[in-house]
Amino acid sequence: MSTNEKIKFMQDVRDIYKTIARELTRTLPVTNKFLQNLQFMHPLQRHHESSSKSLMIIARDLPQLLSDDNLDYLNVEWRLYENETIPEEWYQQKTTSGDSDEVIKYQPIDNYWKHVFAIKTSSGIAKFVVLPQLIKSLLSLSHGNTDVERGFSEHAALITDNRSSLSDISINGLRATKDAVKFLRTTKSSRRLLGNVKEAHSRYQVDQERKQRILKEKEAIEAAAKLTKNKELILVEKEQNLIDQRKILQQDLENASKMLNEGKSRLEAAVATKNFAGVEMAQLLIGGANKKLDALKAQLGDNTDQMNQLRKKLKK
């Protein structure tokens, strides 16, 4: 390759990289303020003057996560974190290559914060309480749509034309099994694994029967409690009816007493004036009043007995 060809080749390579850089700048959220402020989580940004400010900006951008009181605690805990002695091996690992050059390998960010959140006070309690809530929420943010799209693809692979009637429970079970196999990193089948697969349905049925039994027992307990509550409500309602009835009887008793007093007054006046017709009228009033009083007293006695029996039932 001649010199001019080499120059032309390098220019073309440079143009390609420039085009890639422009496209990445256009498509990637490099100007996103939220993502820029997330840099405070980096271990090396702990003492940077902008970190505490970025922390509070992020916390205020998530109002549903932390209350105003928690924001104050968060600021205090960040100050404690800044003054904490953090071992370097929590966030980086230094090794030496063959040519004696030092190589720094950074630890995963979640592993670093796990060590930080494990720090205890002198009394043995967690030193950071509010800060973990924010950091864990931020670490759970997805880096993109890849995981979501992969989930849709896996669903499409599971729900084929001849398996379109799968329920949500079955789909979740298949996904959980697949994820578990990936987690264990095993593709070899064994007799034990095959046996567990064959027994999975029977175990599922046993578990469903157990759940149904527990559900029925719970429903029976709730029904009994509801029945007891209904009985109590009926007793309370009866008690209120007896109280209302007693008020009416007492009012009638008062009216009958007034009628008796009126009859006695009429009798005294009729005797004094020798008015025999008035005497007869007064005797009728007195007789009617006494009869009414006797009946009312009997009814009040029954009312009292019923009230006492009812209150005994309520105390049980």
pLDDT at site 35: 86
> What band does 100 get if pLDDT is binned at 50, 70 and 90?
low
Domain(s) labelled CATH 1.10.287 in the chain stretch across: 231-315
Q: What is the 3-state secondary structure (H, E, C) of 86-148?
A: CCHHHCEEEEECCCCCEEEEECCHHHHHHHHHCCECCCCCECCCHHHHHHHHHHCCCCCCHHH
- The CA distance from 257 to 63, in Å, is 73
pLDDT at site 276: 77
pLDDT at site 185: 58
Contact 138, 58 (CB under 8 A): yes
pLDDT at site 188: 59
Contact 131, 78 (CB under 8 A): yes
CATH of the structural domain 231-315, one choice from 1.10.287, 2.60.120, 3.30.70, 1.10.10: 1.10.287
Q: Which of 63-72, 77-86, 114-123, 144-153 has the weakest average pLDDT? A: 144-153
Does 157 have pLDDT greater than 60?
A: yes
> What band does 14 get if pLDDT is binned at 50, 70 and 90?
very high
User: Whole-model pTM?
Assistant: 0.46
- The CA distance from 300 to 245, in Å, is 9
Q: Which H/E stretch holds residue 310?
A: helix 276-315
pLDDT at site 15: 93
- The CA distance from 127 to 77, in Å, is 8
> What band does 32 get if pLDDT is binned at 50, 70 and 90?
confident
Does 187 have pLDDT greater than 70?
A: no
Which residue bears the tokens 């009869």?
291
Contact 128, 80 (CB under 8 A): yes
pLDDT at site 128: 92
Give 78: exposed, middle or buried? Use CB within 10 Å, 0-12, 13-18, 19+: buried
